[in-house]
Structures are given as C-alpha cells and as structure tokens.
Amino acid sequence: MKVNRTLLFLITLTAFAVAAFAQNADLDKVLKSMDQQAASFHNAQADFVWDQFTKVVNDHDLQEGTINFRRVGKGDLQMASEIKKPAPKYVLFSGGMVKVYDPNPKLDQITEYNAGKSRSDFESFLVLGFGGSGHDLLKSFDVKYSGTENVMGVKAAKLDLTPKSEKVSRMFQHIVLWIDTTKGVSVQQQFISPDGDYRLAKYNNIVLNGKISDDVFKLKTTSKTTTIRPQG
C-alpha cells in the first residue's frame, strides 16, 4: 500500500511538472510572437468596440470607432482614436499630452492632460498588445498563459497579467490580453479594477505597418474651439 501511494504521488507530481512545462512553452511562444512584431512595429490601425462596465450600477457604456498608433522620431509613441458611436469624440496622445476633443457644437472643446511623470506608464499601457515587446511584460507583470479562446473568428492566446507594482495594482487588479499569435498583436483586452469595474476592448480589421496620413494625428477643430487644462 505504501509503495502504491508513493507511486501515485510521483505520477501526480510528474503530471503537474509536464503541464507546467507545456504552459511555459506555450507562454514563451506567445511572447516571442509579440517580440517579433515589436521589432518591426511602425504603426497599426484597427476598428474597436470599447465596453466600459461599472459594477455598482451594473451599467455598460459602449463606444465604437477607429484607432491608430505609430512611432515617430526616436520612438515617441502617438495614438489617435476617433469615437464614432454613440457620439463623435476624438482622443489624441502625442508628446506626453492627452487631448480629448468633443466636437459637439454646443461644446466644441478640447480638454488637455499632461501625462508628466506618468508618461512612460501611460505609453506602456497603450502598447500592450500593439507594438509592445512580449518578454518585456515579465518585468512589470506576473504573466500566466490561460489557453486559447475564439475571439471574432481568431484563435487567440489568452494571457492573464497581474501587476507587480502596487501603484498599478491599485488601478488594475488584472489585465487580460487575447493575442493573435500569427500577427503578434491583441484582438481583445480587458482591464479589471479592484472594485470590479472593467474596460473590455475588441479590435478587428487590424492593419500593421500600413500607410497612415499625418492628418490622422491632428485634431480637426473649428475657429470656435476652446481648450481647457484641468488642474491636479
């Protein structure tokens, strides 16, 4: 009986070790696909659907539009998104500044935020799954490979990221990425806050290193547009 128990323990231990090794190998494969994309990344374009869920009121706020990323100069990151539904709005990140433009004639206003000392953190979130290195994730997160899931017709590898930084974990308890390993980019992302709120982003029609006009990264304002800069 004692021999059988010992044998059973060894078999179980071996099974766990094999499973862990396979998971690590799968994770490394996904991270390498992201590394390859990061090495050749210049820009990306995609359509998106953003779902902002607020737990306390059980409410979903859906937005649809297009998003563009590019690296310029010495690697500075720029992002421009055009929200088309439910109402037009533009978000631009460039030179460490975030500009949100509401073109509604009743407002016609740009709100500017200076990323300041948080610029590198902000950029690192922007490139999660879009031009960011896979193995660099291991510096800031505990990364777990959670198998594959079908996301909008794409067999995507699911990565669960737990922030190592206490500062980041106060914002996001977990970040989940669904990576299309044939392209090395994310087709879905979920940012989960400690209070249960989350933002789920789905991306499709992804084009990498295509031609993007400079005009995409300029806000199309009017002569009546005003700018405000909130303090604090």
- At 98-124, the pLDDT tens digits run 899 999 999 999 999 887 777 777 777
- Residue 94: which of 214, 203, 227 has the closest Cα? 214
Q: Indicate whether this model's pTM tops 0.75.
A: yes
Place of tokens 């300041």: 116
Place of tokens 């896979």: 134
- Residue 20: what pLDDT? 37
Dig out the tokens for 215 from the structure: 């005009």
In whole angstroms, give the CA distance from residue 116 to residue 102.
Answer: 23
Geometric angle at alpha carbon 143, from 142 and 147, rounded to 5°: 150
- Residue 79: which of 33, 37, 125, 118 has the closest Cα? 125
- The answer to whether residue 14 scores a pLDDT higher than 70 is no
- Residue 43: which of 219, 185, 207 has the closest Cα? 207
- Average pLDDT for 190-210: 93
Which residue did the predictor score with more confidence, 170 or 24?
Answer: 170
- The answer to whether residue 180 scores a pLDDT higher than 90 is yes
- Residue 52: which of 198, 211, 208 has the closest Cα? 198
- The answer to whether residue 23 scores a pLDDT higher than 60 is no
CA distances 28 to 62, 122, 136, Å, are 34, 25, 12
- Residue 6: what pLDDT? 57
Confidence bin at 131 (pLDDT 50/70/90) = confident
- The answer to whether residue 188 scores a pLDDT higher than 70 is yes
Three-state SS for 109-130 is: EEEEEECHHHHHHHHHHHCCCC
Which residue did the predictor score with more confidence, 61 or 22?
Answer: 61
- Domains, the chain, in order of start with CATH, read 2-228 (2.50.20.10)
**Mean pLDDT, rounded, of the chain:** 86
Q: Are 68 and 215 in contact (CB under 8 A)?
A: no
| Integer-rounded Cα radius of gyration of the chain | 21
